[in-house]
Chain A
Amino acid sequence: NAGVTQTPKFRILKIGQSMTLQCAQDMNHNYMYWYRQDPGMGLKLIYYSVGAGITDKGEVPNGYNVSRSTTEDFPLRLELAAPSQTSVYFCASSLRTSAAFFGQGTRLTVV
């Protein structure tokens, strides 16, 4: 089982560039999440989705956008990359009553 798959694993962006972080899950989970983790900090929720077509902001949504057109995929879009978005990004999925399963993460550096 693949679980939660994130691509790419690493990326370097220049300030002002845009990119999409991909996330796919094959567990038929309704709930999906995007978190970021800065050095020495816990994970912070960026956006989440309770099902296809439904998304909502988390604690730190500024500078990001998401879409959820299918149950399996939950891409995260950075439109104008800034150094403050240098972080490790984790995608996760869950059922309503299960613990969240996390992907391996995407390490993003904005220079």
Chain B
Amino acid sequence: DQQVKQNSPSLSVQEGRISILNCDYTNSMFDYFLWYKKYPAEGPTFLISISSIKDKNEDGRFTVFLNKSAKHLSLHIVPSQPGDSAVYFCAASGGAGGGADGLTFGKGTHLIIQP
């Protein structure tokens, strides 16, 4: 049973517009959420995170929103750039940071930025 779900396998967005990637989770014990970006043949790269005590965290063009009651989070990228084309993974843990017992990942969303 998937505890972290990314229901959109792919998303196509025009360059300069906003990209919104969604993620849902079922385990109420998760209290720390992360987004990773992955290019082909490379390892995932940490992008941004949010603790369950917050509902928003911003870092440059990237903003993550958390709705605990709905068990939903989203990643907003504004403006989208060609270099943002990659697979984005949502991940969750029961503790701060990487989680002493590891991360639970979604299946990923392939973001394609169209020129």
Interface residues of A (CB under 8 A from B): 4, 31, 33, 35, 40-45, 48, 50, 56, 58, 90, 92-105
Contact = CB atoms under 8 A, between A and B. Distances in A.
A48 B41 CA distance: 23
A33 B98 contact: yes
B57 to A, nearest CB: 12
Interface stretch (B13-21, B62-70, B77-85, B102-110): B102-110
Interface residues of B, number: 27
5 contacts: A43-B105, A94-B97, A95-B97, A96-B100, A97-B96
B37 to A, nearest CB: 11
Q: Is the interface of B mostly helix, strand, loop or mixed?
A: loop
B106 A99 contact: no
Contacts, number: 74
Interface string B38-66: 00011111100100000000000000000
A98 B34 CA distance: 11
A43 B97 CA distance: 17
Contact of B101 (A43, A48, A101, A102): A48
Interface of B: 4, 6, 9, 34, 36, 41-46, 49, 89, 91, 95-98, 100-108
A69 to B, nearest CB: 20
Contacts of B98: 31, 33, 92-96, 98-100
B43 A4 contact: yes
Given A4-B43, A101-B46, A104-B42, A45 B100 contact: no
Contacts of A44: 105
A50 B100 CA distance: 7
B96 A96 contact: yes
A99 B102 contact: no
Given A33-B98, A42-B108, A48-B101, A102 B43 contact: yes
Contacts of B107: 40-42
Nearest to B44: A102
